[in-house]
Amino acid sequence: MTTRETTASTRREELLELAYGYVLRHGLADLSLRPLAADIGSSPRVLLFLFGNKDGLIRALLSRARAEEVSLLAELKSRPGGSLSFVAGELWRWLSAPERRPVLALWVESYARSLVDPSGPWADFARATVDDWLNLLVTTQEPAAQDTEQGRSDRTAALAVLRGALLDLLATGDTARTTRAVAAQLATLAKRA
């Protein structure tokens, strides 16, 4: 890599982090390059040069948002001996932490856009995140249960509980109520295991 390419790559990563902070505060809906560039100390031309176009920037931002989720999932996968209900409970603790609200609101916005605009920069975001989570949850199950209908049903139920409670939490801010509901549902799964 040449010095010029290294400089462009470094600047791209720096601007990506700043743009990520911007979309955490403002969301992706109606993202306009001019206000974004002004806020992060750049110009629309530089952003277009580094990211190709607005869709390229959005894809990079979604990848950056997903990186936090993937990092958590990798960390949980590396822990020995967690059951499906235990790991889902750990996921809920991470999801329900107040400092995660901006990134989770961005995640919900991106997930929804992926469903209604499947050909745009959000393409396949929803499916990829479902796959990420199910791939983690399957590793928490006994090998004999992983490929069974009950095993698939249990990890799908755990994911549905987490996603539903997350939407409720983001809408209401009621951590205590949603946490009790998640714990009750995960206890049901634990009894079945």
* 79 and 143 inside one domain: yes
Q: State the amino acid at position 73 in one-letter form.
A: L
* 94 and 30 inside one domain: no
Task: Answer yes or no: is 10 within a domain.
Answer: yes
* 33 and 77 inside one domain: no
How many residues can be counted in the chain?
193
Task: Answer yes or no: is 39 within a domain.
Answer: yes
The per-residue b/e assignment along 29-41, b for 16 or more CB within 10 angstroms, e otherwise, is eebebeebbeebe
Burial of 47 (0-12, 13-18, 19+ CB in 10 A): buried
Chain CA centroid to CA 40, Å: 23
Instruction: Tell me the pLDDT tens digit for each residue of 21-33.
Output: 999 899 887 889 9
The reported pLDDT for the residue numbered 75 is 79
State the chain's mean pLDDT as an integer. 89
* 19 and 69 inside one domain: no
Cβ neighbors of 167 (< 8 A, separation 6 or more) are: 108
Whether 1 has a pLDDT exceeding 80, the answer reads: no
* 176 and 104 inside one domain: yes
Backbone angles phi, psi at 113, to 5 degrees: -65, -35
* Residue ranges making up the domain that contains 175: 65-192
CA–CA separation, 32 and 54 (whole Å): 9
Total count of domains within the chain: 2
Task: Answer yes or no: is 59 within a domain.
Answer: no
* 91 and 35 inside one domain: no
Domain boundary among 52, 74, 95: 52
* Vertex 95: Cα angle to 82 and 129 (nearest 5): 80
* 81 and 166 inside one domain: yes
Burial of 166 (0-12, 13-18, 19+ CB in 10 A): buried
* 69 and 48 inside one domain: no
DSSP letters, 51-71, are HSSHHHHHHHHHHHHHHHHHH
* 179 and 101 inside one domain: yes
Instruction: Tell me the pLDDT tens digit for each residue of 65-107.
Output: 888 777 877 777 777 667 889 889 989 998 999 988 988 888 8
Task: Answer yes or no: is 60 within a domain.
Answer: no
What's the pTM?
A: 0.80
Task: Answer yes or no: is 150 within a domain.
Answer: yes
Task: Answer yes or no: is 172 within a domain.
Answer: yes
* 119 and 160 inside one domain: yes
Task: Answer yes or no: is 81 within a domain.
Answer: yes
* 102 and 178 inside one domain: yes
Q: Smallest Cα–Cα separation from 141: which of 97, 84, 181? A: 84
Predicted confidence band of residue 37 (pLDDT cuts 50, 70, 90): very high
Task: Answer yes or no: is 130 within a domain.
Answer: yes
